[in-house]
Each structure stands twice: as C-alpha cells, then as structure tokens.
Structure 1
C-alpha cells in the first residue's frame, strides 16, 4: 500500500477485495460423463456445495460463472440447516450436531469409461469423517454415488439419518413420476406436480420390501417431460430393504432430493473405527425426455448392474400351473416332453419338491427342510436332472431359503433362528416366518442349503429364489439390544450370502423372485440374472406391469411367461411375453395341436429376435396410459435391425388409431418390414408387410400398425431389417 494512502481507504480496498479472495479460494470438482456434468465446489469456508447438474458445457471456463455456494452437497443436521438433512448423528458425549468440511478430493480412473471421485469431509471438532463417492460411467451417462461414515470417538456414535445421495435443483416447477402398486398390480405409473413441503416414497416392509413401491423415479424439471422432450432425472436406489426417497421444496422453490436406506426404526450404533457404507444411488440426466434416460440405465445395467447382463438367457417351462404341489416323479418326467415340444432350453421345478418329516403338500409346511420328499421323488433330484438331460433340456429348481414354516423340523430344532417378538403371538403371512439372517449361523445354513443342492446335483442349471413375505412382529434374538440394526443388517447379510455363493457359482442363472416384484433393484441384481415382475401373468395386465419395469430395467432382466391366466388368445399372451425375457408356465398337455405348433415356432422366432430385444435400445412409442394400445420397439446399436411390438388393448366402436412414427433408425438406411410370429395358416394383413422403406420415412411418416377394423386384445410383432442385411437373418 502507498505510504500516503489513508487507513480508511486501505480498509475500504481490503473489504472490496474480500469477495475476490473468497472466490480465489473456492475450488471446483468437475465430474463428467459424455453428455452430463456434476459440479461440486469447495467454498472458502471449506464446506462442499453442489453448483451444477445438467447438460455438459463444452467450455469448462463457463462453469466459473455458476452460483457456486448456495446448496451444501451433503447437509448435516444440528447446525444451521432448516430442512431435511442428509446425515444426522449423536456423538458419544450427547452432542447432536455435525459440521462437514472438505479435507481432500481424489480421482481414480478405473479405465477409459469409469472414473471414481472420492471427497473426504471431516468435522473440525469431532473425529468423524464422511466420504462421498461419485462414479461416472462416461459412455452410459450414468452416475453412481454412495457414502462412507466413520469415526474415532471413544464410544459408539448413533446414526439417525444416512442418505446415499443429496441432490439440489432450481427450476420453475417439478414433476415426479413414481411407480406404486401391490401384489398382482405392481409398478403402476403415476405422475404429479411437486409442491412445497415433503413428498416421500418409502418402504418399511424389511423383506419383499418393494411390494408396494419400487425405489425408482423420474423427476422432470421446468415442466412435464415426454418420452422425447424435457429435462429429466431418472434415479434408483440399489437396495433390497427399506428405502426412503424424499423430495422437499423450500420457500425459495429450490428442491432437494434425498435417497437412501429408510431411517425408520433403524438408529445405528457405529463403533469406533468401523465404516458404515450406504447403498449406491444410481442416476442419469437426459435433456431429451424419459426415453433417453431409460436407455442410459439399460446400457449401464447390462454392462455393470446385472449379473451377466450382456450374456444370453435361457427360455424355460415351469411346472407350477400344470401341477402346483401335487405331482410325482413320473408326472414331472412326462412334463419334460412338453418342454421338448415347445423347444425351450430348461424345465423349472417349482415349489413342493421337499420336506421329510413334514412333506410340502401345501404352503403351511416344510419351508426350511430342504431335503427331497421321498414319497414324491423316490429317486431324488439327481434322477430328474439326468432325465432332463437325456431329453436334451436343462433342469432348474425353486427355493425359498430365507423362510421357515412353523410346521417344520427346522422350526422345532432352532426356534432361536427365527424373527419373532417375545411375549407376542406369532404373526404369519402365507403361513410362514422369516429366518434371522443377521445371525451368522443362519447365513451359513442358507448358504449350505444352496451349496448342498448344487454339490449333490451338479447338473442343476437354474435356481428360482423366492421370498414370499415381508417382516412383521420382527425381533432378532441374535441382535439382542441392537434391534434397530435389524432392517439394515438383514439386507447386508443377504448380500453377504449371495457374495459367498457367487464366489463359488459365478455364472449360475438365478431368478430373483419375491411373491412377484417384491425385490426389484440393482442391489440384488448384481447377484441375480433376472427378476420375476409379478405373479399376475394375465397378458393384458402384464402390458402395464412390464411397461413400468422397462422404464428402469433392461428387458433381459424382466421375466415374462406365457400362461393360461386371462384367457386371451395365445398369440397375444406370447407377444406380450416376447417383450421381455420369455418363458412358459403352462400345461402343455392342455394345449391344442395348433397352439403347440404356434408356440414351437414362437420359441424359434424369439431366439432369432432376442439379441435385439435383450441388447437393443428401447423406444416407447405409444403408452398404454395414453391410448388403448401400447407400442414399443428395440433397435440394435448399429441400427441394422429392430423389433416392433404393437398391442391393441380395449377399443371403442369404430375407433381409429393414428400411424405411429418409429424411432432409433438410421434415416439414410432402407429397411424391409415383415410381420412375424403369425398363427399357423395365417398371413399378415398389414399393408407394410414385405415392403421396403427408408428410415427417414418410418420415423417422419410412420406406419399404420392397425389398419381396418380393430379387434380388442390382439397384437403384432414386426421385424425391421436393413435391406442389405436381410441375408443375415
């Protein structure tokens, strides 16, 4: 400073320079994918803020203009925060506050596509640390985030809230699409505008936790989004237990979104030196509507989120509808012939094959007693495996290893292994109780159940893993005075068992079933090859159920079986099943010769089309929520082939349906359109069948998928192939 400058002028200059000094101390953390950027800023106060989330800017210097320090990225409770916190703790000395300041940021590049950014935050007064992890999947435009919490206090710290993610948005309006339902009506789509206050999506069911609501959402900002327009965030929590996703709009119309395990009845005593890890929250941003957000998730899931997500799947015939629990060895072997007639890959033996002291003749007995019922199957499972292989089909089997029947040898031998309240009457759902998977001995038992079955019958090629009840009146004898750990530790224990099984059987296909869609999340799907969306296999209802799941999960995971439920034409039921991972649960002996002939050819057709259905980009063209039809298509990555599904639902007298503009094709390529999966002796009546069109025509003019008079509950499948690739069919 010049020696003649007055003290007042010097002070004034210093005050004006303070904002600049603060700005210079701020540091941005840039996390990018191919099309999206998440910008976090370390403020001059060393707190971490979310500054931006949206479409990536080509000039990084433009990020310097952001309002950098308005929204703290992971807000703790107990300080000056006035809204829902991401984390709330009580220290060992009773202090209920937490302050988080930035310590360091590390960036680790796993490969050319995956980068992990880890940001360490610490409390300046207490030895407590929170690490925020952000994984960016560049080509898929997917982010995955989770949190690690640990401390070095002398006594345990109580965790009350522990979000996996906190996100902030500033827009004129917000629209939420949620997916709710119940048993047999899973995954119903609802959309509503968010208003001031808190909107919460959650589960408190423990096991089968997603029966009423799946931990997924679309969030549209600045107005409603469509399949092809609008700014939208798709999010999902990779957790099979209780979850909570909350949306809070404050007095300034800012929105904060919190996602994670449900803190309900789950206060967690964290010991010194231990790490509490939250489940991953997986999300993506699209500036081109919901369809692109779904395709981002599907691409990521097939490569990173689902066991063997990029590998082929097996078609199967399940015996449940044919026999229920009333069968014997001879009947099952005869059913193998039905599988052979259909041309499927595998026969799946469902519930009812086990029980020694208490045979499994109904759903009131034998869960937990996983030994073969010698009365039904005197030659054992190995005999069935060998007989199936002799007919050139694989063999699979049903299990429900987390459950126990009160009428079972296991219940009599180990009452301390069961979740139930002391001094209360037992409460049953489906006449069964839940095993206490937090107990390491129970974990060993569940692991051994599967391992023994596979070791004694090494030819088993598939398992259906069921879970038919939620937790009620739950108390863990093992956890003793830490009952609030039950919901969290149960799910972690399930994953620990699956980790052990996958170390020994890394590629065994296992279907994730929970009385239908009671477990549908990417926490479980890292161990499972597919899931069962619903016990409702009515083809008409399945259009809506599968439509919902396909918003967030790729078709290769969505098991869909042809059954006799609903009594719709077999072509309609089959065409609906082809939308996902097709199988059969039907009494083949009751089918007509024409139905068997059609189904055999349908399996061949499906196997030809399945590479596009399983790995192609999904385009939802007409929603069943908006019209009396549903239209969707899958397009191969190279845009050489596509499969189009058209389902006519209910129609009115003389109703006419407009042509449908296709998506995802190459406008410069020429495509031949052929209707496939026709009933024997019938020919396509669609005028587009056998004709060649440019991709531009199909996308700008479209196809009349339903010419002539409409017939309710009918369907069409069209194979669309680039002209020069037709010889590859």
Structure 2
C-alpha cells in the first residue's frame, strides 16, 4: 500500500482557500476539481484535454439539481460523505464516536509536485465538527495518460470511529448513454467480456470470496461514453482496482442521467474500526480515458504497467517447461532429472516443478493431504530440493518451484499443530474447498509462517530461480480465531496480511521472479503485480479458448505479464496452433516431449528461438488487436517495437463458416513511408514425418522451413499494409500464421 503521506516529496507549499481550482492532467486527459462557495470540493470536468487552460475557469462547480432545471448549492462532490444533501451512494460512510452518521468534508489545503512521470497531487479535506480528515492522493502519468488515485481516512480523535463505506474515488459523467463492459469469470473461463447499457439505478459488480477473490469476476471494467466502445473508436473509461481481496464497483445513473462510478473494497461484512490517531488507506484505483477506443487505452495501460507498476516490468522473462500435465503427482527425483533434460532439449530457460513435492507424515500424493508441510517428500525426493537444483545445473536450465503457502490441508502436520491458524467456524461443520482451508493472515504468526516458507527454501537452496505461487481456495468457514470480537475486519485484514508477507519477500529477495496463480486467473490485480512478475491467466489452455481469455486480459495487462503455456488441452488442434497462441504471451510449455513427433519437436524448438528473438516486440512493444474473436470466426493481433522497425502478426482461423468471405487484415502502428519485408515464420519443418520422436536425434540437422503463403518474403509499404492489408486468413479450422515484418 502507499504511505500515508507524501509530504516529504511534495516540496511546494500548501495552498489556501483562494486556490479554487485543482488540475490533474495527462497528455490526453484533464480532471479539473474546484472548491465551491461552501468550501467543499467538486469535480467540474473529466474529459479530453482542453487546449486552452483558461477554458477550465468557465466550468461551474454547481450542477442542475432537479427536473425543473434549477441550479442549487449542489455539485459533483469529489468525495461525498453520508448523511448530507446528496441522495445517492456516498464515497465515505462513517459512524462517529457519538453515534452520528453524518460526515461533511470541506477543503483544507492541497499540494502538488511535478515528477519525472507527471505529477503528484495531495488534497486534504476535513470535517469542521468532527476530528476526521480525508487526504485524496492522485498520481498522474503524463505520457502514458494514466491517473492513479487513492484515499487516506484519518481519525484524529481520541475515540475509535467505524467506517462502513470507503471508496477509493468517485468519478462522474454526463452523457446521453453509458455502456459497461464487464469481465466475468470462473475456473477455466476467465475474462469473458460482455457489454450492456447502464440505465437508471445501480449496477454493482462485486466479489465476496476473500481469497481467490476474482474467481467469478475480475477487478476491471470499461465504460463506453455515448456509444459502445470499439477497439479503435469511441470514448472509453478503463478502470481497475489494485486490491487482491473483495472489491466492489458501483455504477449509478441518477434521476437526471448522470453516471457516478465508485471503485472500492467491498464493504460487505467489513465495517472497519479506525482507532484513535490512526488511518485507513484505500486501494489504488487506476484509470485511463481514451478518445480512440479500447485499443489506445490498452496500449497506455500496458506501457504504464511495464514502466511503473509490474515487478521487473522492464526486465526479461524466462521460458519454461512445467511438469504438471505431464506427471501430475506421480514423479520422483530421477524422472524430474529426465524432464530437465527435456527442457534443455526443448530450448526453454527453466524447468518448473509443480504440486506434489512435499509432505512426509502426510505425503502429497493427491490434493487431500500435505498442504502446509513444506518439506520435500523423502520417498520421492531423497536428495531434497538441492538435488533438483543440481540436476537442473547439469541439464543447463534454471529450476523453479510451485508453492501454495496461504493454504493448509486438515490432513497435515501444520494443521495438527496449529488448528487455530486456519479459518474455521466454532461448533459448526467445516466446509472444504478443494480439500483445504485458508490460513488466517490476520495473525502475525501466520504471516511469519508464510514468509518463512519462501525464506527457508531460498536460504537453503539459493539456486531456486522462480516461484509459482498458487491460491486455490476462497475463504470458507469465515471466522478468525485471532480477531475474536473483531470479525468484521477479517476480509480486509487478510489481504493486508498477505501484502505484509509479499513486501518482505520483495525486500529480501528482490530478484526472484514469481508467477501469480490462483486456480487459474482468479488473482489479476495491479497491487499483487507489484510483487509478481507475471500471472497465470487460466488453467484452461485449450488454444481456442485461450484466444478469448488472452483477448480479455490484454485489455488491461501487457503480454509479458500474461503466462501462456502449450499443453495437451484440445489435441484436435496442432502443436503449431497451440504454440502460436501461447507465443502471444509469456511463453511456456506443460507437455512431454514423448507426445511430440519429430516434426513437432523441431517446430517448437524453432518457434522458441523466434519468440526469444522477437521479445522486444511481443513483450516490450506496442500491441494492436486487429480482429476480435468475439466478432469473427478469425482473430488477429500484432506487436511492434516502439520504433516500429520490427513487428510480428499473429493470425488465427478459429471455426470458419462454409465458403465464407475472407477479408484482408489491415495492420496498425507501422511507419507509412517505410518499406517492410514480410516473412512467414513458425512454419512446420519439411522432414521425414515417418520418424518418431524417439528418432528425433537422427532427424535432418538443418530441416527446410518453406512457407506456402502467397506473400512470403515480399516487400510492402507501411501505408499499403495499414490501408490494404494482408491475406492471412483461410477457410480451414484452427489454422495459424505468424508473420514477421522488418523495416528495410
């Protein structure tokens, strides 16, 4: 979380009440706030950047308040409290120590400081009757067109207060129509996009799962203003909440057609006591306002994330081979050593050992025992983790490890010793999700245990190069033995306890990359991604389904944060198709080489080399989503380097209709006056296909990779490619083309 105050950074002096206007600006957007005659703070403008700064002075802080069109002392209050003259959802609801439910915040002062990335703004509001202050924080990222905002609620009194609504922000719009795109989810069907109009009343998207909180809905949204947002057209607000627990988005259209947006921790069962002289910090709400559709908004978010939010966002990423779908729980030390050699032969950087390596009194033979006992199973791994890292060194790859340190099986030594460390209901039958319970991270002893899982592994085995950190269960049996009488603080305290652990890990092991996994993509927020280099989008690796899942997640996340693996899901598709889909993200494999023909193996080895060569475009470049799988039986996405000298186009035929018309794909992001040579890569090798995978060592050392694509190795101008396009779609099911473009 952010520190409570940024005063040491804010060198400019505080302004007084005569400063009636506060501008929070990026290269494309202006958010203008004004102090009203009643000393309260109002939003007067949020929209496309004004060319003339003085035009903002004309904007009134008051709005039309009724059906008769009258103007009253009422406006779009930036952070309204409960109990005043506003009729709608407040940003802050508080019960004061005397039982009063009304809070009215007035402007006190603000500070602004220019930064290398934009500006930091800090606005202090206070109630003139109660010792309560609220500090609004804004960070504007000028070039990337991103605004990040959060709130600190201070209790300056001598008695505790209770807060029961605590939004991170409130934004307003006055448009003719509003269209919400939400991202619903479940196991194996994450980031499913649906768009609907917002009409009078409230639409609420929330989650109450506590842990694995985003299993059913993700913490981000898009709002098309006036028209549904298109990929390259329309004004769209894209927002996401950086919180790994229960969240709530409230979209409220009022009686005169204004839209209010409140992003927040979900207040469900979470009335929070703020002690005397203490503060409550809300999560960061991150948003961008694009005038040219979701494509522009996504590119701004992706660039911002790589530069400022994602752990090691400008660093490299490792390809890997995971053993899970190859062995599941059935492996031993010798088999893993063989698989490490396969990883080297495949051409990846790392071998990742998944679930099933731990527990001795209760060995991890399935998902019913052992979770919580993080000692290598002696019968499987007599040499422990050290022997595995040594085998990885011998094979010439790095070694990574799966952990799920926040969870416990009842059948474990940890639970037998500390049953009160897990959430369990007193005197009631327990409910188990995936045969496990969630550890109570409100408890500092539990936080220490979870941290020690990582520390002990790394201190004793410094060659462990990577963690896959899983979280397979929501919070069940919702009772904390540690909190006792303050059960209403369980959900918030749990997430803050998790952050305490992650902050220690990042501080003490800053160079250890970690994958954020939660039974798939049920953790996908920008607070967690301060501590994780990437996240697992879904356990569903069927390449057809992944085209939709990755399309959805790419709205808010860069490719280098999105893990995509080649597996055996949907064997009706070719290894080429599966690999090409996975190559649009952080590439990995979860497949045994014995499943591959000699041609498939050569293909994959070459595709990995191509992916490594094109990482400056795919991982660190600019993404253009060209053809949506939601709107066509085909889909296409391309990436360019920042200077547009290199690009790669991924085109997929999903399930074409019989004799349907095929359209050219118009590219984007190229230099119109430049010439580009286009060449198909990731082509199946031409070898003797009668040879099996076991005979691959005798396969031709220099196989031929000959494309049959009509435009292969031709030169076109950037203007032609963007206005006319390329024929890359076919009438065949689950076919793929990967096209490399190089400026000449």
Using structure 2 for the length normalisation, give the TM-score. Answer: 0.93
- SS across alignment from 2:528: coil
Residue 67 (structure 2) aligns with? none
Residue 406 (structure 1) aligns with? 410
Equivalent residues in 2 for 1:38-77, closer than 5 Å: 38-69=31-62, 70-77=75-82
Whole-Å Cα distance in 1 between the matches of residues 510 and 185 of structure 2? 33
Answer yes or no: is the 8 Å Cα contact 2:408–2:414 preserved in 1.
yes
* The one of 14, 31, 46 aligned to 2:24: 31
Answer yes or no: is the 8 Å Cα contact 1:661–1:700 preserved in 2.
yes
Answer yes or no: is the 8 Å Cα contact 1:26–1:43 preserved in 2.
no
Deviates more, 1:676-685 or 1:273-282: 676-685
Residue 524 (structure 1) aligns with? 528
* The one of 685, 688, 691 aligned to 2:714: 691
1:324 and 2:328 correspond: yes
Whole-Å Cα distance in 2 between the matches of residues 50 and 637 of structure 1? 35
1:594 and 2:599 correspond: yes
Whole-Å Cα distance in 2 between the matches of residues 450 and 128 of structure 1? 40
Answer yes or no: is the 8 Å Cα contact 2:652–2:729 preserved in 1.
no
Answer yes or no: is the 8 Å Cα contact 2:634–2:729 preserved in 1.
no
Whole-Å Cα distance in 2 between the matches of residues 188 and 449 of structure 1? 34
Residue 674 (structure 1) aligns with? 679
* The one of 444, 456, 463 aligned to 1:459: 463
- SS across alignment from 1:64: helix
1:448 and 2:452 correspond: yes
Runs of 4+ in 1 over 4 A off after TM superposition: none
Residue 104 (structure 2) aligns with? 99
Whole-Å Cα distance in 1 between the matches of residues 235 and 378 of structure 2? 60
Equivalent residues in 2 for 1:69-468, closer than 5 Å: 69=62, 70-109=75-114, 111-468=115-472
1:641 and 2:662 correspond: no
- Give, in angstroms, the shift of residue 68 of structure 1: 2.3
Unaligned stretches of 5+ residues in structure 1: 1-23, 724-729
Answer yes or no: is the 8 Å Cα contact 1:338–1:589 preserved in 2.
no
Deviates more, 1:63-72 or 1:644-653: 63-72
Residue 705 (structure 1) aligns with? 728
Whole-Å Cα distance in 2 between the matches of residues 39 and 602 of structure 1? 49
1:609 and 2:614 correspond: yes
Whole-Å Cα distance in 2 between the matches of residues 657 and 389 of structure 1? 50
How many residues are treated as equivalent by the alignment?
Answer: 697
Residue 473 (structure 2) aligns with? 469
Deviates more, 1:268-277 or 1:68-77: 68-77
1:575 and 2:596 correspond: no
- Give, in angstroms, the shift of residue 586 of structure 1: 0.4
Residue 65 (structure 2) aligns with? none
- SS across alignment from 2:56: helix
- Give, in angstroms, the shift of residue 590 of structure 1: 2.4
1:655 and 2:660 correspond: yes
Whole-Å Cα distance in 2 between the matches of residues 479 and 529 of structure 1? 32
Answer yes or no: is the 8 Å Cα contact 2:623–2:638 preserved in 1.
yes
- Give, in angstroms, the shift of residue 168 of structure 1: 0.3
Answer yes or no: is the 8 Å Cα contact 1:341–1:596 preserved in 2.
no
Whole-Å Cα distance in 2 between the matches of residues 68 and 563 of structure 1? 57
- SS across alignment from 1:321: helix
Unaligned stretches of 5+ residues in structure 2: 1-16, 63-74, 687-704
Answer yes or no: is the 8 Å Cα contact 2:26–2:118 preserved in 1.
no
Whole-Å Cα distance in 2 between the matches of residues 634 and 539 of structure 1? 19
- SS across alignment from 1:671: strand
- Give, in angstroms, the shift of residue 666 of structure 1: 1.0
Whole-Å Cα distance in 2 between the matches of residues 204 and 623 of structure 1? 31
**CA deviation string 1:445-503 (max 9, x = no partner):** 01111100001111000000000010122110111111111111111110110000111
Whole-Å Cα distance in 2 between the matches of residues 658 and 387 of structure 1? 51
Aligned-pair Cα RMSD in Å? 1.0
- Give, in angstroms, the shift of residue 194 of structure 1: 0.6
Answer yes or no: is the 8 Å Cα contact 1:429–1:469 preserved in 2.
yes
Answer yes or no: is the 8 Å Cα contact 1:686–1:706 preserved in 2.
no
* The one of 506, 511, 525 aligned to 1:507: 511
- Give, in angstroms, the shift of residue 64 of structure 1: 1.3
Whole-Å Cα distance in 1 between the matches of residues 172 and 401 of structure 2? 46
Residue 21 (structure 1) aligns with? none
Residue 735 (structure 2) aligns with? 714
Residue 726 (structure 1) aligns with? none
Residue 18 (structure 1) aligns with? none
- SS across alignment from 1:551: coil
Residue 17 (structure 1) aligns with? none
Answer yes or no: is the 8 Å Cα contact 1:47–1:72 preserved in 2.
yes
**CA deviation string 1:359-401 (max 9, x = no partner):** 0001000111000100000011101101111111000000000
- SS across alignment from 2:529: coil
Whole-Å Cα distance in 1 between the matches of residues 315 and 672 of structure 2? 30
- Give, in angstroms, the shift of residue 114 of structure 1: 3.1
**CA deviation string 1:647-706 (max 9, x = no partner):** 110111112211111111111111111110001125323222111111111111111112
- SS across alignment from 1:720: strand
Whole-Å Cα distance in 2 between the matches of residues 685 and 547 of structure 1? 28
1:481 and 2:485 correspond: yes
Residue 620 (structure 1) aligns with? 625
Whole-Å Cα distance in 2 between the matches of residues 706 and 284 of structure 1? 33
**CA deviation string 1:421-458 (max 9, x = no partner):** 11111110110000011100000001111100001111
- Give, in angstroms, the shift of residue 153 of structure 1: 2.2
Answer yes or no: is the 8 Å Cα contact 1:49–1:68 preserved in 2.
yes
- Give, in angstroms, the shift of residue 26 of structure 1: 7.1
Whole-Å Cα distance in 1 between the matches of residues 729 and 351 of structure 2? 36
Whole-Å Cα distance in 2 between the matches of residues 490 and 80 of structure 1? 35
- Give, in angstroms, the shift of residue 617 of structure 1: 1.0
- Give, in angstroms, the shift of residue 223 of structure 1: 1.2
- Give, in angstroms, the shift of residue 152 of structure 1: 2.1
Whole-Å Cα distance in 2 between the matches of residues 453 and 81 of structure 1? 54
- SS across alignment from 2:170: strand
